Chain A
Amino acid sequence: MKIPVFRTALVATASFLPISLLLLIIFLAVYSWPAIQYNQFHFLWTNDWNLGNLYGNPVSVNGHQIMPGAKYGIWFLVVGTIASSVLAMLIAMPIAVGAAYFLSEGIRKTWAGPLSLFVDLLAAIPSVVYGLWGYALLVPLFGHSIFPFLAKTFSFIPFLNGEAGSGYGLLTSAFVLAVMIIPLISATLRESILMTEPALKEAGLSLGLNRLEVFWHIVLPKLRTVLIGVGILALGRALGETMAVLMVSGNALNYLPNNIYAPISTMAAFIASQLDSALQDPTNMAVEALSEIALVLLLITVVVNIAARMMLWMAKVR
């Protein structure tokens, strides 16, 4: 039998992809194993991250060398990550659906091409530039005028009232995240709207509905699965976003936000900002605890992505 050299080579190179995903998970799990053993599960829902006295002598707790007083709990990161991403989704979804309709059916075909390119370009802007924009333009603007105004106007709604803060915080992060994920959602949704059977739309039009009503009552319900799938995909992106959030979130430590203007921190931003100080820990437990955060973040995004891909596969969207 002849060995299919070409095909074997293809399979070998192609298997780099799944192998690298598996290696990511394995390396993180192995490296953070001491931290996982030391922190147990209350790691996730206790709320104090404290590297301990870095100038003291390491003490041994349950067979693990740690610095005196060191505690690792990331509840504030869990809250910050989920709150900012969910808030970003709430802002992004309506705008993305509106923009997708506008680009696919609201304007003439000759205009749709260039304007869609423009939305694609928005998706391509590097995240650190979004962060810079948030830092230089949004934070002063929000902190000085918009947040105090919102807090005053909506003083009767919980989470919208109270201290207006400095501009760094949950709502600013969510806003920047929303601007980053709107192009992703609306690009896929636009494709799906264009792929819907014309017969459906024509049937609706012939009943006397106008185009917007056809979209709202017929096309959008049909694309429900796509919408949810793309939404979850964008949620995964928002959960893992680092640089933009790092620059506008205020980097709160051990602090739970009490309204939407309060400073927060997210898992990804925390990993990026804390490695330098974690490296000061001679027992290495701090670095391993950071690696445990990375593992938690990785597992969350993997689960979120699997859910999204399942939805999209069911809806037969590539």
Chain B
Amino acid sequence: MAINVLEEQVLPKMSTPRKFKVSLWRRLMTVFATVIVTGSFVFLAAMFLSIIVDVLIHAWPALNIKLLTEITNGIGGGLKNAIEGSIIMSLGSLLLAAPIGISAGIYLSEHGHGNAGKLLRFLSDVLVGVPSIVLGYVGYITMVIYLGWQFSVAAGIITLTVMLLPYIARSTELALSNIPLSVREAGYGLGAGEGRIVFKILLPGAAPAIMTGLFYAVALSMGETAPLLYTAGWSNYMWTGKLTNEPIGYLTYVIWTFINEPFAESHMLAFAAAFLITAGVLMLILVGRWYMVRAQRRMGAYR
């Protein structure tokens, strides 16, 4: 009622409001910025697709069962030894890095508020930034030469471990610090000790997030080349189980050496290796994400 009166009496008297006019310059700049912003995403998408499509097209003719059943010879063959080596190296480094990294993460989230914790966090952030080739070189002069292990599985695994540690520590810390304080207080209130709280309450609660971090870490270690060049060496044969004094093959090495050979067969093998490693890495990351989302949906896990 009142509105009707208002409309009849007030509004007609008011002159039409002055239209807010956007200057041509501002409209031009907005259009320009929209183009830039959309263009930069399209650029990224194009790069991603071109990498995947390029690798897939070149690798397609080489993707057959021979890759899995034959070992490499100098210029061609299969990739059995390299696939085996890549899996051994990344699982081995995960076995070493996961316990250390997770305990470092527990320390950072539970006691990392003092100066020691801050320093540790800072140094592990710096360790993330150390170039992987430097890690490989240090692995070479310490383990390969000084300890006399030669090019070996152990040297490669330990070098990768140092690389993975800070990633696992930070992802674990993030996972644990998302668990509310009251959960810990409830545990202490029931008389549980610190160890019991960590193992029975915090770790199970944060398990999905920690697992996702571990998936990322495996993906990372599978894709690395530079730290392994001078620690793991290269071998055309299957691994016989010796930890030291025996080099081992891995997929990423195939990519950068075989592409420099003058033979079409070697090039195809390099692209096949690139396809396998890319597919493996992307798959691991997607599985990690999916696992996390599923756990959140199913049991309302902490992120």
Q: Which residues of A contact B (CB under 8 A)?
A: 4-7, 9-11, 13-18, 20-21, 23-24, 27-28, 31, 94-99, 101-103, 106, 115, 117-122, 124-133, 135-137, 179, 182-183, 186, 208, 210, 212-213, 216, 233, 236-237, 239-243, 246-247, 268, 271-272, 275, 287, 290-291, 294, 297-298, 301-302, 304-306, 308-309, 318
Contacts and interface: CB of A to CB of B under 8 A. Distances in A.
B278 A125 contact: yes
Interface residues of B, number: 85
A236 B126 CA distance: 10
Nearest to A275: B230
Contact of A129 (B51, B104, B165): B51
B130 A14 contact: no
Interface string B31-56: 00110111111011101101100110
Given A95-B43, A121-B282, A20 B141 contact: no
A284 to B, nearest CB: 10
Nearest to A120: B285
A124 B281 contact: yes
Contacts of B174: 318
Given A242-B226, A302-B129, A136 B100 contact: no
Contacts of B202: none
Given A291-B141, A301-B131, A128 B125 contact: no
A145 B259 CA distance: 23
Interface stretch (B75-83, B217-225, B241-249): B217-225
B234 to A, nearest CB: 12
Interface string B120-157: 10111111111111111110111000000000000000
Interface in B263-303: 270-271, 274, 277-278, 281-282, 285-286, 289
Interface stretch (B65-73, B105-113, B179-187): B105-113
A308 B128 CA distance: 12
Interface in B172-198: 174, 193-195, 198
A133 B50 contact: yes
Nearest to B110: A10
B176 to A, nearest CB: 12
Contacts of A297: 131, 133-134
A287 B270 CA distance: 29
A240 B271 contact: no
A134 B36 CA distance: 24
B125 A305 contact: yes
A133 B226 contact: no
The winner among B99, B134, B281 for most chain A CB atoms within 10 A is B134
Contacts of B108: 14
B259 A14 contact: no
B282 to A, nearest CB: 6
A24 B281 contact: no
Contacts of A208: 20
B252 A95 contact: no
A121 B48 contact: yes
5 contacts: A17-B123, A17-B127, A102-B41, A136-B271, A271-B134
Contacts of B277: 126, 128-129
A270 to B, nearest CB: 9
Nearest to A12: B103
B229 interface: yes
A207 to B, nearest CB: 11
B44 A122 contact: yes
Nearest to B193: A6
The 5 closest A-B pairs by CB, nearest first: A240-B131, A126-B223, A98-B40, A305-B129, A14-B104
A134 to B, nearest CB: 10
B59 to A, nearest CB: 10
A309 to B, nearest CB: 5
B37 to A, nearest CB: 4
B18 interface: no
B133 A129 contact: no
Nearest to B108: A14
A294 B134 contact: yes
Given A94-B36, A128-B277, 8 more contacts: A28-B137, A99-B41, A106-B37, A129-B278, A136-B58, A186-B44, A275-B230, A301-B129
B133 A271 contact: yes
B120 A18 contact: yes
Nearest to B195: A6
Contacts of B271: 132, 136
Contacts of B281: 124-126
B51 A124 contact: no
B26 interface: yes
Contacts of A308: 129
